[in-house]
Structure 1
Amino acid sequence: MLRLVVLISGGGSNLRALLERCDDADFPAHVVAVGADRDAGGLVHADEFGVPSFLVPFPQYETREAWGEALVEAVRVWAPDVVILSGLMRLLPPAAVDALRPGLINTHPAYLPEFPGAHAVRDALEAGATETGASVIVVDHGTDSGPILARERVPVLPDDSEATLHDRIKPVERRLLADVIQGIAEGRIELEAAA
């Protein structure tokens, strides 16, 4: 049974979907803790599912590196097999990435390497793309540039807004994340090899 720590910044809709999936007795993973860099709304999902949570508030640290060190310490308390960035809207400093790799993965609402960064859905629309997608990657020192574990195309419809397109990407993102976690647990995906 894989031990997962999930890190969030916002409402945690992907976290909730993962917690629901982990409730399935046949799913080979469980969330042991949820962490956040602020008082994120998504922490209510952890409470609802009886999962412990922790805060490492970014403003309390003088540097991003000091915050990263504290975050790694807080994560390691839970001895996770995999750490998932699920809407954590803050780049981890390189030392934190190195400390948590190769079991550090992220979901992204685009078909990487297309449209990396915080505004992937908007960027796809502004570029006039006819399709975008969802991806799950191993986190590296770049912005959404790590090894790709899974990705899938999602069409862009003529009348799509940023909200409607994102709403169609999210279920794909959630399914891919669950598939990757299952693959890691079953040995079909080797994070050491991917990283």
Structure 2
Amino acid sequence: MARKLVAVFASGSGSNFEAVVSAVAGDAASPYEVSLLVCDKPGAAAIARAERLGVPVYAVRPKSYPSREAYEADVVRELRARGIDFVVLAGYMRLITATLLDAYPNRILNIHPSLLPAFPGLHAVEQALEYGAKAAGVTVHFVDGGMDSGAIIAQEALAVRDDDTPETLYPRIQAIEHRLYPAVVRAFAEDRVRLDGRRVTVEGGLGL
């Protein structure tokens, strides 16, 4: 099986970007290779991670374009020029438009720090704590035109402690993210992820 070329989109620190890259570092048999970081914030820490990891960066400011669609059309041109097979969103803080969705149908993945459909959008960990949820977790899902509304590929839950704060809960959620996301990306690159309506199955499981 040919190795799939992946573009990771990030807006912030890039910890999940690094997890996805590092999971296959030095693995000659890896089914995927992260060959591009797309960043919409040229000052983001993710860029420094990419430089350290040897991953090329395409950093552009969306406000430099007349519309979201024009920005994404430029990004799509870059993705196609580099032969990108699928896209992984990792802390990318922008809603995706049809321009990118149509270019990569059912080939865009995202990770979210809650058990969707609970607590979509920003500040999901804070939302869960404010609501008094007894469980939190991580969801990896396909991207559609909505807010964290695509079909769910994988989820993992953890208990919320009575004394949890965002500062204590989020590191435990991140630990799950850094393990779960690379496993899903690997399964997707190996063509083991099956989408049927909103139902998703992973042939052979994730091995976690």
TM class by shorter chain equals over 0.9
Percent identity of equivalent pairs: 37
Q: TM-score, normalised by structure 1?
A: 0.93
2:36 aligned residue (21, 33, 36): 33
Q: 1:19-58 to 2 correspondence within 5 Å?
A: 19-25=21-27, 26-39=29-42, 40-58=44-62
Greater shift in the superposed pair: 164-173 or 20-29? 20-29
Aligned counterparts of 1:59 and 1:105: Cα–Cα separation in 2: 24
Q: 1:1-195 to 2 correspondence within 5 Å?
A: 1-25=3-27, 26-39=29-42, 40-190=44-194
Give how far 1:157 is off. Answer: 1.1
Aligned counterparts of 2:17 and 2:196: Cα–Cα separation in 1: 24
Aligned counterparts of 1:62 and 1:119: Cα–Cα separation in 2: 29
Aligned counterparts of 2:189 and 2:45: Cα–Cα separation in 1: 29
Contact 2:90–2:111 at 8 Å: present in 1 too? yes
Give how far 1:191 is off. Answer: 5.4
Give how far 1:75 is off. Answer: 2.1
Instruction: Report the RMSD for the aligned CA atoms in angstroms.
Output: 1.8
Rate the CA distance shift 1:24–1:130 in 2: closer, same or farther, 3 A.
Answer: farther
- Letter matched to residue 35 of structure 1: V
Q: Unmatched 5+ residue regions in structure 1?
A: none
Q: Secondary structure at the match of 1:183?
A: helix
Contact 1:85–1:107 at 8 Å: present in 2 too? yes
Contact 1:132–1:156 at 8 Å: present in 2 too? yes
Give how far 1:187 is off. Answer: 2.9
Contact 1:184–1:191 at 8 Å: present in 2 too? no
Give how far 1:8 is off. Answer: 0.6
Give how far 1:114 is off. Answer: 1.0
